[in-house]
Structure 1
């Protein structure tokens, strides 16, 4: 679970006032909640990785709070909250459209394994196990089970797109999914903004397919060429073509995505994955990203 607070344990009243009107309202049926906000604040104020059973009693039964958290994740409530603050910032020109992409590997706690087994039961046993782990974004590496978080952040280091994969997945294979996840609707009318001005990425994203994709979409690529690619190009002589354009000055800003990972990992439930289900873990990432957007001071 996630801590949505400036201090420790709970949301600030200012942050709560921003998002409370956007949450689903209770319809009056069922037993009244102990929380005066109708249980909504309890569903949002999940703790910093502590078990759900440790949720403060004033929010009511932890099972009910968890069910509400899961239901809102399923209907996209958390994503809508994040989209709301993104639209608000974009409307006043605060979103910086020089986008940096990267990934980080997070260890999965032993409690994250063993999610309920669903899906086809055909094929060899190892293939079935691999498919199940992929669905839950769990992969095995030297350190055990891990989850890889892929991010695209704006020039201020605030998340625009979040993709989860098993920890042993190559970064370049998810680039299209990350880029397609960037979508900020307009505050008034018009198509959503989906195209950055520039994309900053490290050598893991240095592939011909990625460069062609960015060129077709009119996006400037600032990605250093890998050493083996440069050697192969030189070996081919004139048929190898010219080296890709690379702006060293612009590339210095790529560290904003590294700083974003550092801020997200201040939430214990992000730094270490406790959730069995990949969707629940991603919902926690969305909530943590929402906190970063709410904390960003106006300029």
Structure 2
């Protein structure tokens, strides 16, 4: 086992959730060897063609990662591992924090070919397809933003990728909607945390109304301009939102999680041209954190 490869314990937890065979044309090659190659590229950021020979053919590793990113295999594996951890009672639902981070895009991540089929088919569309390829242009160049929700154990429950210039507040609800931890014993997936913490960038009437409707307690500071506007309106401005400083201290958990994810160079800087492939890269990084826990 090389540095950064799956340990025997991690492999035993992940193996039951992997596809059994390819269907037509033969069987998969060693899943463990290929996944270790994907993890090596993710950790180091090397081009696919420069993968060491101990992982096999680079094209096999690349195609497996691209295919599993397109058909949602990585996401299904992530949720399956989350379900196993939840059954063991090791997910901290008492506090979920939301935040975002910007990832610079390498020049090779631009220029994805835009193919417009005559008859668009959802069947052949990748699971996380985005027409804008989640690339935004600003003064600093091309960038992509990751919006994510972290549970108390410093592991991601869900995330969304967008162009780098998109705001944080409009993406809070889509991130929360992606929290779906299955229950193997039956019943609806767990989707609602007990409490949510976020910085003042997420303070908006829409977000607070959504959290109250779902009966999710929240600790979000009120920006000065919103406070001044509320006070100027007098009684029509309503009561000030509740704020618990002791709970707000735990918001650092999501920031520490972002640091763990961006240890992987292929996450800290985007090298993938297609948005769904980069989404798969971030999913693999999140999956590794759950396997290591």
Q: Deviations over 1:90-117 (max 9, x none)?
A: 1122111111000000100111001111
- Aligned residues of 1:107 and 1:271 also touching (Cα < 8 A): yes
Map residues 215-234 of structure 1 onto 2, 5 A cutoff.
215-234=212-231
1:9 CA drift (Å): 4.4
| Contact 1:133/1:166, CA 8 A, preserved across alignment | no
What pairs up with 1:142-291 in 2 under 5 angstroms? 142-291=139-288
How far 1:55 sits from its partner (Å)?
2.0
Secondary structure of 1:65's match?
A: helix
Q: Counterparts of 1:40 and 1:30 in 2: how far apart (Å)?
A: 16
Q: Does 1:91 align with 2:65?
A: no
The answer to whether the Cα contact below 8 Å between 2:14 and 2:81 also exists between their aligned partners in 1 is no
Distance 1:261 1:79, change over 3 A: same
1:102 corresponds in structure 2 to 99
Structure 2 Cα separation of the partners of residues 29 and 232 of structure 1: 63
Q: 1:53 aligns with which of 46, 49, 71?
A: 49
Structure 1 gaps, min length 5:
122-131
| Aligned residue pairs, count | 277
Change (3 A) 1:32 1:192: closer
Match of 2:122 in 1: none
1:50-95 Cα offsets, whole Å, 9 max, x none, are 1111223243322222222211222221111111121111112211
Once the two structures are TM-superposed, the CA of residue 240 in structure 1 deviates from its matched residue by: 1.3
Structure 1 segments of 4+ aligned residues over 6 angstroms from their partners: none
**Residues 71 and 89 (structure 1 numbering): CA distance in 2 closer, same or farther, change over 3 Å?**
same
Q: Which residue of 1 aligns with 2:74?
A: 78
- Two-structure CA RMSD over aligned residues (Å): 2.2
Which whole-Å deviations, capped at 9, do the CAs of 1:224-278 have from their partners, x for residues lacking one? 0010000111111122111001111111101100000000011010011111111
The alignment status of 1:8 with 2:3, answered yes or no, reads yes
User: TM-score if structure 1 supplies the norm length?
Assistant: 0.87
SS in 1 for 2:180: coil
